[in-house]
Amino acid sequence: MKKPLLSEMTLREKIGQMLAPHHWDVYGKVEMSYDYSVSDMEEVKALYAKEQFGTIRGEQVGVFYADPENEKKIDVVEGYVEGSLLMNNTIKVDTKPYRRFLEKHNTYMKIPALVGGDCSVGAANVFNELSWVVNAAAIGAADSEELTYEFASAIGREMRCGGHNWRWAPVVDLGNRNSYATLRTLAMDDPERTVRLAKAYIKGLQDVGVAATVKHFPSEGRTEARDAHFTSTMNPDSLETWWNEQGRVYQELFDYGVYSVMVGHQSFPAVDDEMINGKYRPSTISKKVVTDLLKGEMGFKGVVITDGIGMAGLFSLLPYEELIVELVNAGNDVILGSKINSGDLIEKAVKDGRIEESRIDDACQRVLDMKEKLGMFEDGYYNLPYEAEDIVENTRKVSAEIAKKSITLVRDKYNLLPLDKKDIKKVSIVISTHTESFLDNVEELQKAFEERGIEVYTQRRLKSAAELKGISDNCDLIIYAACLQMHQPAGYPRFFAEEAMSFYHAFTHGKEKSIGVSFGYPYIHYDTMENVNTFINAYNPRPETMQAFVGAILGEFEIKGNTPVLLEPRANSK
């Protein structure tokens, strides 16, 4: 099909290009209710035809019907994705049926929809046969533009296999150690590295037909520790400070040609100090931030998408009927998580003069232009020269190489490393985490030692110094394997209760043969393991990272990771 002209589109069709609902809403489901009943497909078709959605959040697939009794369901009505599988209350699907599903649903609309998602640690969060990968912090520590490009290209190809063509990454926020984005950003304390790696990341995605997105503009600054998922947040930086660091990062990436930017819900009083209900105006509903600064002064010509509007930092501020109008008038081109009645509300606001139609035209044109860049109006767009089985091995190979290069030696006071393998017969692993699934990850760590002929004993936490003495007397090496992940559980990434008390007893025996390692949050060495002489940051609990850690301490390769965060946190970080 040829690219539509605005003059050929109705107002409602133009509004539709601004809407990015969740698939569960389109199907009349509730996100976490695990409702596997069959939706009325005639109603679904009519909804698509009326709303003409420009984007679908394809990452959330909770609407696709599964049989919780049999796990597989084959004979189903139109609209079901054949090959879906219920796993841990999350439905995952196969790529080929899902791509056919998307193509089918595009026939209900005049213009094909973008399909977006974070896929922050790989497309396996949606698709059965695709890959889990290392996180952004590991990419930052590996500090290789070539590997970053290969990594982004690999993930982009996997997303394309499942019909996705818009990735809401990379995160380029600079911040502080309490930010929930610490592990999601490339180099939180290094603007230059952030720009270098982000450019490689953007090019890797966009070269394979996936729109990249830098986020979360304008960022939350160096001191904000609150999380916009749960409450209002604020960037307290002066405009001068912002331009010197964060603003410079965004400007360079806009000039480089990133297709889209995501605006966060944090307020930015240095640009817009207006108050709403006693709170500073969030950036997503600030015309001064989105239109005047982002589109105007910074000259961004791509698509501006909001962060998910259901987050408490925004959604609780105004009634939805007012909020949706504010979001459009601020200058956002795509509303992520827009409710099903959004088209009606926006159309009414245009007709009664609260929204100028020129604002709709600007948004629609930007979305159409991005679709054109991706090739979505070309014949055979969905006919890929590869399938998932052709590319996943390469993705996993690149992820493993990044894992090796990311291993970062925080300290080794008495030159314990590298260990001599012949001296290590028995290893004890003491586990500290609030994420129960990490216990499964540690099985991979145990396997990595055992593959090298080393006997392994694992234990959750420590209860006493006497217990540790017994462990120390019976092993050659003690590994304190710790993992804190963002939102697991929600709140500050700290050890508390029994997990914290474990470190009351740690290192009282066997300190000379102890190694601390974080498979997540990179400040564990500072917060709870300051007393260990040798410490390594590994950033994530992926199997390839477990293998890399063991290989690193045994001297199988040189440890070269370049920390993406300040090892001594900023004095003003709480």
Tell me what the pLDDT averaged over the chain comes to.
Answer: 90
Residue 128's pLDDT band, with cuts at 50, 70 and 90, is confident
Alpha helix ranges (H) inside 61-116: 95-106
pLDDT at residue 310, as a whole number:
86
Is residue 497 in some structural domain? yes
The answer on pLDDT for 68 being more than 60 is no
> Where would I find the beta strands (DSSP E) of 241-356?
260-263, 275-276, 279-280, 303-306, 335-336
Is residue 514 in some structural domain? yes
Is residue 295 in some structural domain? no
The answer on pLDDT for 80 being more than 60 is no
Residue-wise burial string across 65-91, b where 16 or more C-beta atoms lie within 10 A, e elsewhere: bbeeeeeebeeeeebbbbbbebeeeeb
pLDDT at residue 412, as a whole number:
98
pLDDT at residue 67, as a whole number:
36
Global pTM? 0.94
**89 vs 28, 62, 63, 92, CA distance in Å?**
18, 9, 12, 10
- List, for residues 2-32, the tens digit of each pLDDT value: 999 999 999 999 999 999 998 888 887 765 4
CA–CA dist 369, 521 (Å, integer): 39
- Residue type at 413 in one-letter notation: K
CATH number for the domain that contains residue 427? 3.40.50.1700
Domain count, the chain: 2
Last residue of a domain, one of 51, 82, 111: 111
Residue 35 domain boundaries: 18-111
Is residue 84 in some structural domain? yes
Is residue 515 in some structural domain? yes
- List, for residues 135-191, the tens digit of each pLDDT value: 999 999 999 999 999 999 999 999 999 999 999 999 999 988 877 778 999 999 999
**Contacts with 574 (C-beta within 8 Å, 6 or more apart), sequence order:** 178, 223, 225
Mean pLDDT of 437-457: 96
Is residue 503 in some structural domain? yes
Last residue of a domain, one of 84, 111, 138: 111
Is residue 294 in some structural domain? no
Is residue 35 in some structural domain? yes
Last residue of a domain, one of 67, 87, 111: 111
- List, for residues 326-384, the tens digit of each pLDDT value: 999 999 999 999 999 999 999 999 999 999 999 999 999 999 999 999 999 998 888 89
